């Protein structure tokens, strides 16, 4: 059999399997560009099961691009709260406004025009073009790379140019020109449901007959892992500053993290005492006043990518300030609905009876 015949057979087996076995994910019910776009943005760095309820809530609240464009950013961030990577929500909102302003509310169908919208990179543009507009664009991501590296026993990983070129080349030849959207989704589905990283489920796999990884008996060795970044264990001191029923919040966590979300005033350090004195200095500098901390009232752990953070929450008093306030004062009872970080939510749950 020639390679081209092989590729046609793989393509057809994959599409047939996808028609029969695809999970009924909510974004697969619609080929509307707006819905595809929202799902693609939510799925960046986030698991399918986590995204589903957020996707439903988001589209119920903003069923069209114009409703998203008209919404206040604060409302968009509230609906995103808990999904992480909040820059995605900001970009989505900004891009919706641009689609209204520059394209009369109609999502562009041209790759170059799409790329001018905030937050739409190469991958997202290709996803929307292939899935919503059935245009022949390939989609290379981790799941797809895993399937193809096993199919062809390709050594390396996506961070290596030679590996990437080989996978892209094979993907370009395999792509269905008639049904590119279904083809791209089928390959990802295969990677997510059968061709799993540690234990591939080869028995029901539609491409097993062509898979050299399966034939080698060592499919799980492909692709090769990238060396992991070592975990860091910083301390974070957090100030709980009350004024009657309200509590002080600031935008962002210390060190530029979570810049879009409300958090309790905080500071990192390599030790518990270093974090606390950094927080004392930070608050004193921002208010030009002295700060009085009480004993820690809550200790908890929180993971942000490679950081396993040890958090201490301290009730604090700061003298009133004549100039511009460095805080926003939130009613404690409204914190559960506010656009606060997941970490702030955990802290509020620990330290307040009414949040
Ligand atoms: Fe992956 Fe196994 Fe299918 Fe090969 S046969 S693509 S290793 S699930």
Mutate to test the pocket of ligand 1, among 150, 201, 210 (most ligand atoms within 8 A of CB): 150
**Percent of the chain with pLDDT strictly greater than 90:** 78
State in Å: Cα 28 to ligand 1 middle. 24
Mutate to test the pocket of ligand 1, among 171, 190, 208 (most ligand atoms within 8 A of CB): 208
Residue 95's SS3 state is: helix
Q: Using pLDDT thresholds of 50, 70 and 90, give the confidence band for residue 292.
A: confident
**What is the average per-residue pLDDT within 194-218?**
96
Q: Cβ contacts of residue 185 below 8 Å, gap of 6+?
A: 18, 22, 28, 131
**What is the average per-residue pLDDT within 327-337?**
91
Q: Does the structure show a pLDDT above 60 at 1?
A: no
Pocket of ligand 1 (CB under 6 A): 147, 150-151, 194-195, 200, 202, 205, 207-208, 211, 213-214, 219
Ordered structural domains, the chain, with CATH: 3-221 (1.10.340.30), 235-351 (3.90.79.10)
Name the residue at shortest CA distance from atom 2 of ligand 1: 202
DSSP 133: T
How does pLDDT run across 151-188, given as a tens digit for each residue? Answer: 999 999 998 999 999 999 999 999 999 999 999 999 99
Q: What is the pTM of this model?
A: 0.71
Q: How many CB atoms lie within 10 A of CB 100?
A: 16
Active site residue 40: yes
| Cis previous bond, 333, omega within 30 | no
**Token couple for 168:** 């892209």
Give the integer Cα–Cα distance in Å for 70 and 64: 10
Q: For ligand 1, what atom is nearest to the CA of residue 146?
A: 1
State in Å: Cα 202 to ligand 1 middle. 5
């Amino acid at each position: 059999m020639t390679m081209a015949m092989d590729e046609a057979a793989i393509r057809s087996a994959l599409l047939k399997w996808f028609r029969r076995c695809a999970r009924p994910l909510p974004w697969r019910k619609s080929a509307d560009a707006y819905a595809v776009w929202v799902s693609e943005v939510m799925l960046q760095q986030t698991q399918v099961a986590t995204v589903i309820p957020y996707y439903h809530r988001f589209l119920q609240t903003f069923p069209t691009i114009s409703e998203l464009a008209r919404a206040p950013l604060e409302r968009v961030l509230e609906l995103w709260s808990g999904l992480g990577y909040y820059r995605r929500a900001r970009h989505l909102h900004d891009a919706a406004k641009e689609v209204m302003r520059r394209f009369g509310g109609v999502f562009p169908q041209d790759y170059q025009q799409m790329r001018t919208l905030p937050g739409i990179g190469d991958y997202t543009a290709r996803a929307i073009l292939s899935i919503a507009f059935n245009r022949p664009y390939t989609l290379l991501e981790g799941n797809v790379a895993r399937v193809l590296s096993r199919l062809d026993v390709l050594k390396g990983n996506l961070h290596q140019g030679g590996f990437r070129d080989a996978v892209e080349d094979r993907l370009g030849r395999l792509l269905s020109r008639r049904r590119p959207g279904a083809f791209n989704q089928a390959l990802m589905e295969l990677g997510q449901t059968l061709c799993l990283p540690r234990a591939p489920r080869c028995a029901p796999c539609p491409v097993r007959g062509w898979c050299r990884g399966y034939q080698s008996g060592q499919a799980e060795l492909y692709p090769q892992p990238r060396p992991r970044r070592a975990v860091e264990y910083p301390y974070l001191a957090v100030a709980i500053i009350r004024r009657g029923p309200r509590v002080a919040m600031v935008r962002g966590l210390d060190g530029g993290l979570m810049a879009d979300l409300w958090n309790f005033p905080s500071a990192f350090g390599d030790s518990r005492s270093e974090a606390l004195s950094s927080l004392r200095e930070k608050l004193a500098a921002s208010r030009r006043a002295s700060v009085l901390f009480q004993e820690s009232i809550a200790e908890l752990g929180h993971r942000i990518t490679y950081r396993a953070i040890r958090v201490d929450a301290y009730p604090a008093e700061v003298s009133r300030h004549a100039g511009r306030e460095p805080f926003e004062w939130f009613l404690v009872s409204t914190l559960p609905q506010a656009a606060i970080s997941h970490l702030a939510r955990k802290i509020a749950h620990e330290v307040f009876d009414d949040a």
